Structures are given as C-alpha cells and as structure tokens.
Structure 1
Amino acid sequence: MDEVGEAHTRVPCASEMRACAAVLVSRVTARNRLPLDYSERSLRVVDFMIDGLRKGGADLERARGTLFGLGAYVGEVLVRRAGAVWVDFDAQQRGYFGQPVGVRMPDGRVWNPLGKVVNRFETGGPEDSLQLFCLKLHGRARRAAA
C-alpha cells in the first residue's frame, strides 16, 4: 500500500495494517515532527490531530484516508503495547463494526480501532478519547513486575 489514502478504495487485510500505520507515521512526522512513537501517551497526539481535522472543517469523506491511517496507528499501538494482534473480521464482525479489520486482545476480545477513530472524528467528545480508550481497555496484557 503506497498511500494511507488508498486504504478506503479497497478492503485492506490484517497483514497490511502495520505498514499502513508506518506510512502515516512517516508522513506526519516528516511534516510536523509530531511524537508518534507507538506509545500509549502518543494517542493524545492522535486525539489532537482528529480534533484539528474537525475544527478545520474536513468532512468524513475528505478525511477518510487520514482517519484510516490514524486508526491503523491506534491499532498498532495496541499490538505493540497491549499484546493485541491484527485480525481480519469475518462477515458478521464486518457488519457489526463497519470495518474489515480489528485487533484481538490477549483475552480473546476483539476491538475496532478504525471505528474508534471515526467515532472520535464524528462526535469529538472527551468520552471518545483514544488515549483513554487504550488506557481503560479490557483484555490488555499485564506486564510482569520487575
């Protein structure tokens, strides 16, 4: 996948999501030097970026490619920090979540980071914060005490 914006023109698969997140990080950090380091803390930056899209007057269709890239990034944070794995949704899950892929947490629960990003864009409320979502997420892998 060459461009983050391409993602909405065809159905992506789970194996492509890490690359989609990397493309977004490369494009955003090259232009703006934003700290997208795949940490839970960096999701605050994602919240601000989405809020900026809204305040800038972008509609959902115009923002779709960027939102997809941000959703890939959020999912990749869960993969790297919370023990999740990318999964392709089956037909029933696609119907429920409205997305082709998501993440499965260590406890088996499935989450929809792409949809969470769209929700943040559409509502803009603090209850849809991606950083808080990640910090409160059920099924996270627990780190062993040192």
Structure 2
Amino acid sequence: MGGNERAALPGASAMRPYTSVFVTRLTERNRLPLDYSVASLRLVDLVVDGLRRDQPRRDQVDGILLGLGAYTGEVIVRRAGGVWVDFDAGQRELFRQTVGVRMPDGRVWNPLGKVVNRFESGPEESVQRLYLLLHGRAAQRNTVCG
C-alpha cells in the first residue's frame, strides 16, 4: 500500500471492506495484532511514530496513513456505535478528507485526519486518546469534532 492510494480511498459505504483488505495485508507482513479492539489503537499510534522516525515525505507513506486512519475509524464504528459517512463539501474542506465517522449523538469525527496529524505533529495527536474522548461525553451542539 503505497503513497498513490489516496486517490483510491473509497466512499463511506466501502470503508469496511477497504479496511479489511488493508488490515489483512499489513498483518500478514508484520504480524501486528490489529484486532479492532480499543487497545489496538495504541499500536496505531506506535506504528505512526515508527514511520515518523525515518522522516519520509508524507506522500511516501500516505497509503499506510490512510489505511491506519480507516482502521481507527472502523474501531470507532465497531466499538462506539459510529457509522461511516461521506463528508459534505464543507466538511471535506475543513477535514481535508472525504469520509469520516458520525456518532449516534450526531458528532462527526475525522479518524483519517487524526492519523495524518499524528504523523505530522507527533505524540500530542493520539488516535487512542481520540477514542477515549468519544465515551462519557454529553451530547454537544457542536457536531464537528476531531
């Protein structure tokens, strides 16, 4: 999964199979325990940190970053009751992604962008922390998050 996969990112209805293929390919090569558990999100943070160490250009790792973002989103869908959604034009401009996750309370999250932010900014951006923010929060009027 190389850098040219950004253009091939599917719409919301195809994110589950896209993520499944990504996880299969990544785990058969690296034996990573990506099991869609909340605990596995720490591994996503660690993998992104490992990518950062070699200081590649973002376009060299874009495919794996988007795959890890899709995985993060799929964990949110499976474990927190979210659903994949296609972003509208305003959300695409804001998030610089085409898909995200809408929670039952209507908030929209950008797990793909969160993984990219981890790569670009470092440990202060955490997908594991993103997930933890989803639980125990009261419904808010602001529906654009993450």
Aligned equivalents of 2:27 and 2:54: distance in 1?
19
- Residue pair 1:29, 1:35 contacting (<8 A) in 2 also: yes
Give the counterpart of 2:128 among 111, 131, 136.
131
Per-residue deviation, residues 63-92 of structure 1 (Å, max 9, x unmatched)? 111111001000000000000000000111
- Residue pair 2:2, 2:61 contacting (<8 A) in 1 also: no
Q: Evaluate the alpha carbon distance shift between residue 138 and residue 90 of structure 1 in structure 2; reply closer, same or farther with a 3 A threshold.
A: farther
Question: Offset at 1:56?
Answer: 1.9
Aligned equivalents of 2:103 and 2:55: distance in 1?
34
Aligned equivalents of 1:109 and 1:139: distance in 2?
14
Aligned equivalents of 2:136 and 2:18: distance in 1?
24
- Residue pair 2:100, 2:109 contacting (<8 A) in 1 also: yes
Match of 1:99 in 2: 97
TM-score (normalizing by structure 1): 0.87
Q: Which amino acid aligns with 2:30?
A: N
Aligned equivalents of 1:96 and 1:129: distance in 2?
19
* 1:22-101 aligned within 5 A: 22-101=20-99
Task: Indicate the SS of the match to 1:58.
Answer: coil
Larger displacement relative to structure 2 (131-140 or 95-104): 131-140
Task: Indicate the SS of the match to 2:106.
Answer: coil
Match of 2:119 in 1: 121
Aligned equivalents of 2:135 and 2:105: distance in 1?
8
Match of 2:13 in 1: 15
- Residue pair 1:87, 1:102 contacting (<8 A) in 2 also: yes
Question: Offset at 1:7?
Answer: 3.6
Runs of 4+ in 1 over 6 A off after TM superposition: none
Q: Which amino acid aligns with 1:118?
A: V
Q: Which amino acid aligns with 2:82?
A: A
